[in-house]
Structure 1
Amino acid sequence: MSKEISTTIHGETLDVERIVEKSVGQEIREQARGGAEAEHNLPPLEAIRKYPWTLFWCLVVSMCVVMEGYDTNLLNNFYAYPTFAKKYGHWNEGTNNYQLDAAWQASLVNAAPVGAFFGTLLNGVLVPRFGHIKVLIGALLSLSAFIFIVFFSPNTTVLLVGEILCGLPWGIFTTTAPAYASEVLPMSLRVYMTSWANMCFIIGHLISAGVLAGLVNNTTQWAYRIPFALQWFWPCVLIPVIFFAPDTPWHLVRVERHEDALKSLARLRPKATETELHDALGLIIYTNDLEHQLSVGTSYWDCFKGFELRRTEIACMVFAGQIFTGLNFAYNSTYFFQQIGLDPTTTYHLNVGGTGMGLFATIMCWIFVMPYVGRRTAYLWGIFVMTILLMLIGGLNKKTENDSVAMAQAVLALIWTFVFQLSSGQLGWAIPAEIGSTRLRQKTICLARNAYAIANIVSGVLQPYFMNPTEWNLKGYTGFIWGGTSFFMFIWTYFRLPETKDRTFEELDLLFAKGVPARKFSTYNTETFRDTETGTEKVQSHASMA
């Protein structure tokens, strides 16, 4: 039997769902019931036909993430780029070429993540106040100014400052895009478009890989200045379009602008009937009030209270898990390819091929994985396969003087990229966007992204020392290190990651409030919108109302 949700007020146990009904009224409750039924009965293809404008605005907003994907791939691969190394590095007699010191490599690769860390925290405060669209436009305008610094940087110090400043708006882009998608899309499309942000990241990688491959033989300063300059293209295109995008109805309900929320739904779903729009709005109002009655606040501190702590842990671990499974080693792998003896041209062609494989894997994930396989299952077994691949790369390192073995290591890294984008690469964006309560969604995503940023910074400091021939020079043995952290993520996922597929936000609220174990999420019957006269077993909630 499903457990009833209750809470305590001055020592008296009360049924939260009955309190919500009294708070919102019978009409809203019935609309919410209709909205929930519509969510469950709407298959993906019908949702695409019915809500094309919703998809369009999600696509546009998420395109902002292309810029971070472009730049993060740019700097990581510039280390093996001859003209960049000559400009910002020094001659190394041991390797007979120009190299950046490991300390500068670590500083530059972590500059943008440091900026993104603070931009993400700032975003968690700005979006609840101003809405997603105004914040995005402000971030795009800021980025347009900061690009001048990296483009004209005469030395590594100025380049470092420019990357930190550029990281501020990138932190806003990567946390706003999945939150926006999760709040405007019907449930059946939620995982596709929240993970579309990851696709945009890959598109950014692919563009930068193509630009670098095309300029690798250019011996002038424009070999690295042109890639920097291309970043101005995106704000010029996106600002005029995003200006007309509607804000999310969830945000408008949270700030008690219900009429504007209905207008936003009408813009997002122009083919919906009046009844469907009111049912959708009713579900939003009901869910928001349910979370309010469960004492779900709206501050960062509230993310660490009661059952919200569990949701925050899951979001943070899933996003940071991308780093723990070897992202900085196997994904941005041109420097690794160079260190195991592959020539620059082969290295950059492999980089383009690897990024293309990632893009193909993302599409395959949308078609063959997401519609049929749960989030938990795909994330869990994807990590298992990546762990094996990383261990194999490490095991082959004794024979890297053999060109065939070195190429085999490179191929394994490319296969890792494919598996990553079939699993944690996609779901690392999608799960944090739907796991948090709606009142704390933006802040939960921001905390998750910052958990990723912290893991990325630590990895970014260590990775150059693992790989640099003037430091530890581990080369392929680095696969053992990331294979170990990847196995840790496999264990955590098995015990802690719940299944969120085919669950509305209201159902997820109830599952977490009832403390349902992670492995029972997919089969647990929440019995939402039950007959309020039916008596069922009461349990003590994790929440406590003042």
Structure 2
Amino acid sequence: MADQDIKPTPADNPLSLDKEVVAQHDETTGTLASEARLAAESEQNMTLWQAIKTYPKAIGWSVLLSSTLIMEGYDLSLLGHLYGSPVFNEKFGEWHEPSQSYVVSAAWMSALSNGARAGEVIGLILAGWMQDRWGYKKSMIVNLIFMIAFVFILFFAPNVQVLVVGEVFCGLPWGAFQSITPAYASEVAPVKLRPYLTTFINMCWVIGQFFSSAVNYSSVTRTDEWAYRLPFAIQWLWPVLILAGVLFAPESPWWYIRNNDRASARKALLRLTSRNQPSFNPDETIAMIEYTNEMERQLKEGVRYRDCFKGTDLRRTEIVVLTWVAQVLSGQNLMGYFSYFMVQAGLDPANSMAMAMGNGALGLVGTMGSWFLMTHIGRRRIFISGICTQLCILVTVGSLSFASSNASVWAIGAMLILFTFVYDFTIGPITYCLVSELSSTRLKSKTIVMARAAYNAVNIFVNVMTNYQLNTGAWNWGAKTAYFWAGSCLLCTIWVFFRLPEPKDRSYAELDLLFEHQVPARKFAKTKIDPYSQDHTVEKRLSTASE
């Protein structure tokens, strides 16, 4: 390998500076690297309990901001449940002669589901700009206010057309929440807490699904307009409560450093941590943030969208984007249509709602179980195991569709519940951890924006396909739909095996150098690296253990 020096260099041409200035600069850089090393080692040597004692406030603030995703999980799951509600279908659907009932057409189902996704893509793009300009806190406050206003459209919608408009507008803040929460969680937490706080985002999504099932279960027997208006009205609860807390939240120290405000970064860090912790030095932690930011800048990393497609960041962008896309193409969409799926399979609406509640509860257990897995097993192994298991379940569900007995209907329901557990035990929460860790700190918000936008764009295709596959007035595939998604799940499994690296217990500076030196995905976990070394030969910093 060729020699490489990642130490920050003077802004002007070194040849035009006298030797004393250059020597002073090198001494300052060496001190920064030494302090950064101490902070990185302190983080990596922390036990989980020490990390909790040192960063209890960071945990609280991250959990508060992440809870905004409860709203997205609630609404997107809500639509799937409402399609099984007779009152909702009578209000917003049309009479379907073959089934002798009111049904929302596949076209309008697609418009409703994809209206929110389209709004989220726009919201994500706007959020990327807002985060860089205003920071995470102010961006969150603005979008929470928008959320409160846009719920009025859903609640008072007189027809399906206005309901679609409401979904589009609500998608704008939901898209912003998708970008802000993982970036904030990954920046305010140390290495030991990062996987727990980023995967908690998935738990918020599951909590939203569970509440959606519970609310619909309690209102499905109603025969008036409150059968669907009450579930919409519940959405006012979350943004009001969250906004009251976010007003007092600290900004991310990383954001202040990227904006050259060290004093504010230190104040924010102190608001995220406990005082008088023997293993914690705020100045060393700030030095680590500064050093990592400067290192990425010296690696010619810009902060514009086009920089995500340059040099090593092209690979990082590919991994982050396709990891999120793999999450949805692995059959995740069937979970959102659980109640509708079971009604079409032959269950009555009340029983399907009850099973959906059990489905959501199991998802919560699965996400908490993933925390135990991450302590002992790497992210890559969890993701591969999960997606392979989902592939097997999808093939099983498709095969059960050929049986016409009542037992097969319940078997399909049981397999879909198992699918939810596996998803929320593995790739559901792990995806949030991966996308937060594998994007660089300077381009984190923009990489996450593009990845989630790609996720939502693919979801538009997935929703259209699923609506036509399941709708009795369209293709009416029933449980055979699982075969189609088993095929896409297989393609995702192949990509994951060859391209997804292992970021467990790595600092951001370590990940930067692993990508810079093009370490293969399957060798990430075995590669030894020292980004804080003052020996500037690459061989001293990075050595790959033999497999």
- Of 59, 83, 94, which aligns to 2:63? 59
2:186 — aligned with what? 182
Kindly indicate whether residue 234 of structure 2 is the aligned counterpart of residue 205 of structure 1. Answer: no
Question: How many residues are paired up?
Answer: 527
1:544 — aligned with what? none
Within 5 Å, which residues of 2 pair with 1:94-113? 94-113=98-117
2:363 — aligned with what? 358
Kindly indicate whether residue 239 of structure 2 is the aligned counterpart of residue 235 of structure 1. Answer: yes
SS at match of 1:528: coil
Kindly indicate whether residue 435 of structure 2 is the aligned counterpart of residue 432 of structure 1. Answer: yes
Q: Deviations over 1:403-427 (max 9, x none)?
A: 0011101100100000001111001
1:456 — aligned with what? 459
2:15 — aligned with what? none
User: One-letter code of the match for 1:109?
Assistant: S
Kindly indicate whether residue 334 of structure 2 is the aligned counterpart of residue 329 of structure 1. Answer: yes
SS at match of 1:326: helix
Asked if the contact 1:5–1:17 (Cα under 8 Å) also holds between the matched residues in 2, the reply is no
Asked if the contact 2:144–2:173 (Cα under 8 Å) also holds between the matched residues in 1, the reply is yes
Pairwise CA distance, 1:525 = 0.8
TM-score between the two structures when normalised by the length of structure 2: 0.94
Asked if the contact 1:5–1:510 (Cα under 8 Å) also holds between the matched residues in 2, the reply is no
Within 5 Å, which residues of 2 pair with 1:52-451? 52-271=56-275, 276-367=281-372, 369-399=373-403, 401-451=404-454
Distance 2:147 2:239 in 1: 8
Distance 1:494 1:200 in 2: 28
Kindly indicate whether residue 6 of structure 2 is the aligned counterpart of residue 16 of structure 1. Answer: yes
Pairwise CA distance, 1:535 = 7.5
Q: Deviations over 1:85-139 (max 9, x none)?
A: 0100012121121101110011101111110011001111110110000000000
SS at match of 1:503: coil
User: One-letter code of the match for 1:316?
Assistant: V
Query: What RMSD over aligned residues (CA atoms) do the two structures have, in Å?
Result: 1.7
Cα 1:24–1:173 shift into 2, 3 Å = farther
Q: Deviations over 1:302-348 (max 9, x none)?
A: 11111101111111111111211111124431111111111111111
Pairwise CA distance, 1:37 = 0.6
Distance 1:86 1:535 in 2: 68
Distance 1:472 1:215 in 2: 29
SS at match of 1:295: coil
Cα 1:33–1:108 shift into 2, 3 Å = same
1:481 — aligned with what? 484
1:522 — aligned with what? 525
SS at match of 1:188: coil
Distance 1:5 1:70 in 2: 53
Pairwise CA distance, 1:273 = 5.5
Structure 1 range deviating more: 158-167 or 17-26: 17-26
SS at match of 1:437: coil
SS at match of 2:531: coil
Q: Deviations over 1:450-478 (max 9, x none)?
A: 11101111101111110111111111111
Kindly indicate whether residue 436 of structure 2 is the aligned counterpart of residue 468 of structure 1. Answer: no
Structure 1 range deviating more: 336-345 or 274-283: 274-283
Unaligned 5+ segments in structure 2 are: 11-24, 543-547
Cα 1:537–1:282 shift into 2, 3 Å = closer
User: One-letter code of the match for 2:367?
Assistant: T
User: One-letter code of the match for 1:227?
Assistant: P
SS at match of 1:16: coil
% of aligned pairs identical?
A: 38
Cα 1:533–1:209 shift into 2, 3 Å = closer
User: One-letter code of the match for 2:202?
Assistant: N
Q: Deviations over 1:52-88 (max 9, x none)?
A: 1111111111111111111111112211111100100
Cα 1:4–1:18 shift into 2, 3 Å = farther
Distance 1:391 1:186 in 2: 40
Distance 2:277 2:53 in 1: 14
Asked if the contact 1:361–1:418 (Cα under 8 Å) also holds between the matched residues in 2, the reply is yes
Structure 1 range deviating more: 512-521 or 18-27: 18-27
1:543 — aligned with what? none
Cα 1:419–1:27 shift into 2, 3 Å = same
Asked if the contact 1:60–1:242 (Cα under 8 Å) also holds between the matched residues in 2, the reply is yes
Structure 1 range deviating more: 453-462 or 321-330: 321-330
- Of 488, 510, 514, which aligns to 1:511? 514
Q: Deviations over 1:169-221 (max 9, x none)?
A: 00011111111010000001101101111111111111111000010000000
4+ runs of 1 displaced by more than 4 Å? 18-21, 272-275
SS at match of 2:102: strand
Structure 1 range deviating more: 525-534 or 158-167: 525-534
Pairwise CA distance, 1:18 = 6.8
Unaligned 5+ segments in structure 1 are: 7-14, 540-546
User: One-letter code of the match for 1:363?
Assistant: M
Kindly indicate whether residue 32 of structure 2 is the aligned counterpart of residue 42 of structure 1. Answer: no
SS at match of 1:46: helix
TM-score between the two structures when normalised by the length of structure 1: 0.94
